[in-house]
Every structure is written in structure tokens, then in C-alpha cells.
Amino acid sequence: MIALIDYGAGNLQSVRKALTHLGAQIRLTDSPRGLEEAKGVILPGVGAFGSAMAALEERGLTEAICRYIQSGRPFLGICLGLQLLFEGSEESPGVKGLGILPGKILHIPQKPGLKIPHMGWNSLKLLRGGSGLFKGTSPEPYVYFVHSYYLKADDPSLVTASVEYGTEIHAAVQKGNLFACQFHPEKSGSTGLQILRNFLEAVEKEG
């Protein structure tokens, strides 16, 4: 069973639909107990960093997420779900993130001709080849982004994919059982389905 974290502000239905299409059993959860029972967990996200952290804390999910990741079971953060794994964001000064991974979330720099939010399709540069989430994808996977803030990871070895959009954006990370991507695989067509399929395979291996 895959637990899809519902903290009141996530793009749950499109993620749920994509996973169901792949044959996964999905359960929405807004409680720590729902994570304890899961073989895999996905933290989706749209909205603001500060309000999302407040919603997670209100539901007792911040410590539960940390415990789950420490258990070694597969975890996937999507878009804001990636950003929340880090220490903090310029979007919400003074609000601490989960701090599971080292790095900061910064505003995409304003440049002539550059539209913010970054909204649309871009090709990724894979930094570990076709492994992890990107097994079976093209050498430069084409995926869909919607965001105004981006990850700058402190540890380059965590970064599995990047994209250029006014600056180098760390678009995907992996540390053991922990996966996260800034783009939306559930909105990225067949490439996105392959990425989600790879996560489900990781869940099955741990099962």
C-alpha cells in the first residue's frame, strides 16, 4: 500500500490517478498512523512552504515523516514535497523545513525574458545516468514544471538531475530510500509514468 500524504494543499487527485493507472493501491492519509502502515509514502505539494509546514505540524506529520524515512522504506517528495525536505525557503523566512537533507530553497532569479513562475516542459540533465527514478527514461527526459522557487542542495552527490532556467536548478535528488523531484511526474506523460513506475518498483523490492 502506498500512502499519499494529505495535508490539505496537495495535487492529490492527479497523483492518485497516475498511480492507480500503474496498478498501485493508494490510501490518502493525514495522520502518523497512516505512514506507519505504508510500504511507500508520497508527499505531493502545491502552495506555500510556510503554510505547508504548518499543516504538517498541526497533523503531527513532521516527526512521522522523519521516522518513516529513517525506517528505510521508500519515500517520494514531489514539487513542494521536495522543498519541504530541506532546511528552509526564501518563500517563508524564519520557517524551518523538515531538515532531512542539507540545502536551501531560493527564488528563481529575475532575468529579462524569463517568466516566473517557471511553468512548462524542460529537458533534464541526468547526473547519474539512467538509474533510480530515471531508469528506462530517455537520456534527457522531458518533464513538466510549475514553480517559483528552486533547490540549491549543499551536497552535490544527492542531485540526480538538473535543469537550466535562469540558473542551475537541482531538479531531483536521491539519498538511499529517499527520492524527490521538483517537477511533476504525474503531469509528465509517459516519461512521468515511468518515473512513478520506478518508485513503485523500489517499494516492491523493499516489500
CA gap 187, 83 in Å, rounded: 18
CB-based contact 61:22 (threshold 8 Å): no
Residues 6 or more apart whose Cβ sits within 8 Å of residue 190: none
Tell whether the torsion through CA atoms of 160, 117, 17 and 192 is positive or negative. negative
Extract the C-alpha cell encoding 45.
505539494
Whole-number average pLDDT of the chain: 95
Residues 6 or more apart whose Cβ sits within 8 Å of residue 67: 35
Active site residue 90: no
pLDDT, tens digit (0-9, with 9 covering 90-100), for 63-84: 999 999 999 999 999 999 999 9
**Catalytic residue from among 57, 66, 79, 204:** 79
CA gap 99, 86 in Å, rounded: 5
CA gap 116, 93 in Å, rounded: 20
Active site residue 107: no
Residue 162 reports pLDDT greater than 90: yes
**Catalytic residue from among 36, 186, 201, 204:** 186
- Out of 20-24, 116-120, 203-207, which region has the weakest mean confidence (pLDDT)? 203-207
Residue 95 reports pLDDT greater than 70: yes
Active site residue 186: yes
CA 183 to chain centre: 8
pLDDT tier, 128 (very low <50, low <70, confident <90, very high otherwise): confident
Whole-number pLDDT of residue 182:
98
Whole-number pLDDT of residue 2:
96
Whole-number pLDDT of residue 38:
96
In order of their start, the domains of the chain are 2-206 (3.40.50.880)
**Selected residue with higher pLDDT from 199 and 10:** 199
Measuring CA to CA, how many Å separate 5 from each of 63, 107, 200? Answer: 14, 25, 16
pLDDT tier, 47 (very low <50, low <70, confident <90, very high otherwise): confident
Q: Average pLDDT in the 100-125 region? A: 96
pLDDT, tens digit (0-9, with 9 covering 90-100), for 168-188: 999 999 999 999 999 999 999
**Catalytic residue from among 118, 147, 170, 184:** 184
